[in-house]
Homo-oligomer: A and B are copies of this chain.
Amino acid sequence: MFMPVGTQGTVKGISPQELLEIGSQMILGNTYHLMLRPGEQLVAAHGGLPGFTAYPGPFLTDSGGFQVMSLGHMRKINEEGVTFKSHLDGSMVLLTPERSIGVQEALGADVIMAFDECPPYPAERDYIQQSLERTIRWLERCQAVKSREDQALFAIVQGGVHQDLRQHSLDLTLPFGTPGFAIGGLAVGESKEEMYPAVAFTAARLPEGKPRYLMGVGHPEDLIAGIALGVDMFDCVYPTRTGRFGYALTDEGRLNLNSSAPRRQLEPIDPECDCYACRHYTRAYLAHLLRAEEMLAPRMLSLHNLRYLHRLVERASRAIAAGTFQQWAQVWAERYFQQAVPAWFQAALAAGASVEAPA
């Protein structure tokens, strides 16, 4: 499944009713953003994220670790946790494994994530090793302090793009036996040629019967490559962000509604799509809304892009069930990449063929 990202307690511009209509299953909430504003206690006073956001659930919350690294200023990492300066008011905040779990228990998601460090790319090998070992000690503290029985804590495997460090992280993480495992530390700036071997290596060594979650990914091609390699869960701000910029996802690649051609096109973004925008609007109308800076444009393009990714996963799932995933993915890719399917994608599909479960 692809999880829409509701950073600040809302998937930007989209109502819960619309999320249900387009087939969203689980929504991601951000611990870092919500603890800083409005504060987890206000969310808890609403009975957690479902009451606060009116999305009836389920939810997953991240641990805050990734945002501390990408948004926090003046951060200092030590064994205790991470001290950082809030991007909102400049106050100094300490986020620890204990605090992360406390916040996530207050937010009340169904799946919560262990507090980890996601090292930047590139990073020194030695640093990645020290960091992943500390992340394991933090995982231990997360498990120890976790008090709600109705929340599933997922561990996160780190190790950058290095196979031996991924193996080291797996060796230390798998014994915790958490109900799901995430592949972290990727899609942070490395090339696809570096990223996918790391995904393939890690996903193949995670337990068959538990969800594998590739964090912060991705684009349509990333979903297909990830699914080929055995990934079950994805999240990314990409569909809503690129929609706000005027881009629409289709099987033929990304359509730029800011360009001049769509202004005269009386067909929908995608005649095969069943979203509200495709059922009601022409490209010309949506291009007009964009030029006129009308709010309905980012709203409708976000909705379409989310529906595109949900539908893509649904189609992949049907192909897997029918035992035709490899062929389906190949046909999809040739159309999507306009005949120029990149080597990394072909390699991911090929690597996936060997791990694909028999129908």
Q: What residues of chain A have their CB less than 8 Å away from a CB belonging to chain B?
A: 8-10, 12-17, 33, 37-38, 42, 45-46, 52-54, 263-264, 266, 276, 280-282, 284-285, 288-289, 291-292, 294-296, 298-300
Do A295 and B295 have beta carbons less than 8 Å apart?
Answer: yes
Do A12 and B294 have beta carbons less than 8 Å apart?
Answer: yes
Do A288 and B37 have beta carbons less than 8 Å apart?
Answer: yes
Do A299 and B295 have beta carbons less than 8 Å apart?
Answer: yes
- Docked pose: A291 CA to B285 CA in angstroms: 31
Partner of A285, one of B37, B53, B285, B289: B53
Give 16 pairs: A residue, B residue, CB < 8 Å, sorted on A: A9-B289, A9-B294, A10-B289, A12-B296, A13-B299, A15-B300, A33-B292, A37-B292, A38-B263, A38-B284, A42-B263, A45-B284, A53-B285, A54-B281, A295-B299, A299-B299
Do A295 and B37 have beta carbons less than 8 Å apart?
Answer: no
- Docked pose: A52 CA to B266 CA in angstroms: 9
User: In the complex where A12-B294, A263-B38 touch, is A285 in contact with B46 (Cβ < 8 A)?
Assistant: yes
Contacts of A16 in B (CB 8 A): 280
- Docked pose: A266 CA to B264 CA in angstroms: 47
Partner of A284, one of B42, B263, B281: B42
Do A9 and B53 have beta carbons less than 8 Å apart?
Answer: no
**Number of chain copies forming the complex:** 2
Do A266 and B46 have beta carbons less than 8 Å apart?
Answer: yes
Partner of A46, one of B54, B276, B282, B292: B282
Do A296 and B15 have beta carbons less than 8 Å apart?
Answer: yes
Do B42 and A288 have beta carbons less than 8 Å apart?
Answer: yes
Partner of A294, one of B10, B17, B289: B10
User: In the complex where A8-B294, A292-B8, A294-B8 touch, is A46 in contact with B284 (Cβ < 8 A)?
Assistant: yes
Which residue, of A10, A14, A284, has the highest number of chain B Cβ atoms within 10 A?
A10
Contacts of A14 in B (CB 8 A): 296
- Docked pose: A10 CA to B291 CA in angstroms: 13
Do A285 and B9 have beta carbons less than 8 Å apart?
Answer: yes
Q: How far is the CB of A6 from chain B (nearest CB, A)?
A: 10
